[in-house]
Each structure stands twice: as C-alpha cells, then as structure tokens.
C-alpha cells in the first residue's frame, strides 16, 4: 500500500470516530464501502484521510500503543514516588520515632488547662517536652495512655509530658476519662478548636512531638507507641544528657 502525503503515521495520534463507526468496523469494511469520517489529531492539527488501514498497520499501531502506555505508566510511577518523597527503601512504621533533620522550631500555640486557664507552649521552655495530641474517642490513644503514664512517672522531671486533648467537649468530656484511667503523672490540656493540631500539621491521632530545651521539634511519633519500652526509652536517653534515670527505668520495665 502506497502512502500519500496527507497520511499521518504517529504513535501519539489520537483517533476520533464519528457516526458510531469503530475501528473494528473500519478494518472489516469492503473496499467499495465509503469510509466513515475520521480525524487524527497531532500537534493540535486535524487531518482527514480516506484510505483503508491494512491489518499489518493496525497490528503495528496496537503494539506501539501498548509500548507507549507501558512507558507512560513507568514515568507516572516514578513521578508519584518522587512527589511522595519515597527516597528510602522503607518508610517509618507507626509507633516509631521519626527524627527531624535538622530540628525545626516548634509552633507558637496556646492551650487551656482543665480549670480554663490559658497556657502557652513556650511556658515549658528549658525543658525536654513531649507533646502528645490525643482524643477520648481515639482507640489507639486509649492503648498508649497507660504506657505514657508509666514513662512519665519513671523519668520524673527529666521530661515533661504535655497531653493535648483535641476533644470539642472540653473538660466535661476529658476529665472523666483521665480519672477513669488514673492518669496522674502528667497534665492534660485542652484544644477544643484543634488549633494545636493544625499548627503541628497533624494528620491523625495520636501523634507526638519531642521538643528540646531550645524549643525545637526533634522528631515525631505517629500512631500509638509503647512509651516505656526499651526501644523508646533508648531514644529519649539520647536527648536527656544523663542516663542514670534511664538505667533505673530499664530495671523496672515490664517484660
């Protein structure tokens, strides 16, 4: 079959069929039957053609289209991975410490204690602070609270746990929950409008942030954690400066 100057042969060609005529019909069309109007678009221009495709040309087009689709899928997969920051072979798991490199300044936020007094995060300056955002309706939060209580009681004033409730109900909702679990080692603060959650850009609860004595966020933990486990105590140990309290804690950690 001889090709005329008006024919366009391109893998990227987009074929638009009219009057309900599809490609399979065109390939089966008798030579005497009129060709349905078709347009092949390339580079923004439209070209009209009136000859019949050969079966060989159709097969080549199908093969080329499959190759092009495969290449496009590979390119899109690579772009998605780059956009999502998938540069490490394995993403951190829930409950594991994710360090910030370098540390970033903690956001400026104000909270309320159970009595309704305003407290700023900056009030805890010069201390190692663990900010824990949680809610009474959050099941993973319920699981980690006892271990958070044990960790605070064992480390004492070496670290300050600031538990921030995201419940909209305020102290009427939160206080009965605290009493039921017997949480006494750390204080709970209220964030009924979720200002702290937005400031820290929290995606889910619970999420915790470790803040150093200079007010910088050292890292975070997403999801429920076993705060008195040897692994997490070792992480905290690296930021405490002294290890005498940690060593005593290890002897009392439950198996």
* Cα maximum dimension of the chain: 96
Beta-carbon contacts of 93 under 8 Å, excluding residues fewer than 6 positions away, are none
Q: Tell me what percent of the residues of the chain surpass a pLDDT of 90.
A: 56
Greatest mean pLDDT among 70-79, 84-93, 136-145: 136-145
Q: Which CATH architecture does the domain made up of 97-252 adopt?
A: 3-Layer(aba) Sandwich (3.40)
The pTM (predicted TM-score) of the whole model is 0.61
pLDDT digits (tens, 9 = 90+) for 152-208: 999 999 999 999 999 999 999 999 999 999 999 999 999 999 999 999 999 999 999
CB 189 within 8 A of CB 131: no
User: Tokens 């300056």 label which residue?
Assistant: 125
Return residue ranges of the chain for CATH 3.40.30.10.
97-252
Which pLDDT value is given to residue 68? 61
- Residue 143 exposed, middle or buried by CB count within 10 Å (0-12, 13-18, 19+): middle
Q: Is 16 helix (H, G, I), strand (E, B) or coil?
A: strand
């Amino acid at each position: 079959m001889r090709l005329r100057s008006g024919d366009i042969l391109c893998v990227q060609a987009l074929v638009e069929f009219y009057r309900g005529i599809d490609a399979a019909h065109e390939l089966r069309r008798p030579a005497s039957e009129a060709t349905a109007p078709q347009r092949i678009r390339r580079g923004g221009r439209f070209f009209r053609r009136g000859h019949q495709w050969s079966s060989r040309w159709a097969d080549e087009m199908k093969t080329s289209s499959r190759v092009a689709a495969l290449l496009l899928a590979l390119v899109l997969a690579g772009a998605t991975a780059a956009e999502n920051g998938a540069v490490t072979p394995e993403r951190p798991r829930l409950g594991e410490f994710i360090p910030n490199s370098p540390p970033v300044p903690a956001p400026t936020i104000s909270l309320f204690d159970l009595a309704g007094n305003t407290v700023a995060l900056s009030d805890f300056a010069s201390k190692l602070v663990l900010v824990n955002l949680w809610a009474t309706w959050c099941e993973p939060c319920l699981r980690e609270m006892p271990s958070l209580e044990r960790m605070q009681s064992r480390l004492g004033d070496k670290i300050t746990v600031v538990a921030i409730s995201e419940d909209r109900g305020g102290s009427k909702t939160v206080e009965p929950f605290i009493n039921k679990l017997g949480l006494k080692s750390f204080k709970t603060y209220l964030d009924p409008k979720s200002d702290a959650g937005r400031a820290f850009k929290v995606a889910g609860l619970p999420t915790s942030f470790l803040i150093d004595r200079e007010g910088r966020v050292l890292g975070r933990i997403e999801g429920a954690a076993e705060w008195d486990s040897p692994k997490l105590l070792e992480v905290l140990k690296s930021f405490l400066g002294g290890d005498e309290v940690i060593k005593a804690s290890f002897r009392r950690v439950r198996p």
